[in-house]
Every structure is written in structure tokens, then in C-alpha cells.
Amino acid sequence: MSLSWLLTNLLAGVVARALLVPLEAKYPALPPSSLHTLDAEAIVVLGAGRYRGTPEFAEDDVIGPALDRLRYGALLARESKKPLLVTGGAPDGGVRSEAETMAASLARDFGVSVRWLESASANTLDNARFSAEILHSAGIRRVALVTHAWHMPRAVAAFEAAGLSVLAAPTGYLSVGPISALDFVPRAGALHGSARALHEWIGQAWYALRR
């Protein structure tokens, strides 16, 4: 198997879909009509990175994938009136943690306040452990977990292992929509989907080995 053959296949939309669908199909999207009666005591939104020192905001700010999660988390909070926890540290340094930039974005962009910030984590396992400590101390045992659909299986496993009951609230699907002729043509967008999926499959294998 040559590197060029592998790269060409990863650039194809049909290959990206094949890798993504098993991840994204495991936890279906919540019905929009159910959000006002959300079966959870709190909402947890996972970080997805941040820009450091953005000139237009004169501070660190969330990147696009994190904004996807925040937008859905804000919707859940408004509809359900449940409190929010945002989680994400600063593994690469910076002035503010991901959680702090997320809380600032929620207030500025969506008019939603955050109850708890978890700012020490460096990965999904940390997100789960440290968030569980905060929530357990508040008497909370069941949460609605917001992250991308392709990341949800690994995230749910981590949060359940940390002792929380989880209602999956996925967003940011990459495998939706009908297959078209373009899905058989190498494209950079498909490589993004393939890379996300491979990262998750490898991450799941790594977590399984650590147990």
C-alpha cells in the first residue's frame, strides 16, 4: 500500500463517510421538541480549541469547532433552563483557558451565563474526571453532554467512567446529506473528515488499552 494510494482514498468523501458514520450514528441527535424537557440536571460543553491573542477581540477566543458546540449548548440551556458547565484547560499555554474563552463567548455571543468552569483539563479524559468532581460536589449525577457527533462515543465513555450518567447531545455532524458525484473525487474537505474519524478510532483504541 503506497502513501499516495492511502492519501487519495482519505481525500474521497465516500471513504470519509465510511469512517464517520459508525461514530456519528451511535448517538442520534436529540429531537428539537424534547429540549425544553431535557432529561439531565446540567449541561456540559466540551472545548475544541481556541485562537491565542486574536487581534479583532484583543484576547484569546474560541475556534470554529468550539463555537459549534457552544451554539448548541446555548440552545439547550435556553430551552431547558438547566445550568451550564464548560470544560477545557490551556495545554498550550496562553492567557486564558479554553473554559474561560468559552464562557466569554457564551456571554458575548449568545447571552448565556455559565455556572461552572473546569479549566485544568488537557484532554477528553481530563474533561470527564475534573468535570465529574465539580458536578458531584454540586450533587449532580446526570448531564447532557455536548460535543461533535464524531467525538461523542469516546466522550460518553470517558464521562460514564468518571461516574456520571450521560444524555448524549451531539452536534456538528460531518456525514449527513446525500452522497453525490463529488464524494468520489479527492477533496480537502473529505480529508478533514477522514482525519477526524481516524483520530477518534485511534483514541478509542488507546482508551481501551488503558483500562
127 vs 189: CA distance, rounded Å = 28
Q: What is the DSSP pairing of strand 165-171 with strand 142-148?
A: parallel
Rg (CA), the chain: 18
Whole-number average pLDDT of the chain: 84
Residue 186: the pLDDT is 57
Q: Which residues contact 93 (CB under 8 A, 6 or more apart)?
A: 52
Domain ranges of the chain: 23-174
CATH of 23-174, one of 3.40.50.620, 3.90.550.10, 3.40.50.300, 3.30.465.10: 3.40.50.620
How confident is the model over 19-69, as pLDDT tens digits? 888 888 999 999 999 999 999 999 999 998 777 777 676 577 787 789 999
pLDDT tens column, 92-107: 777 789 999 999 999 9
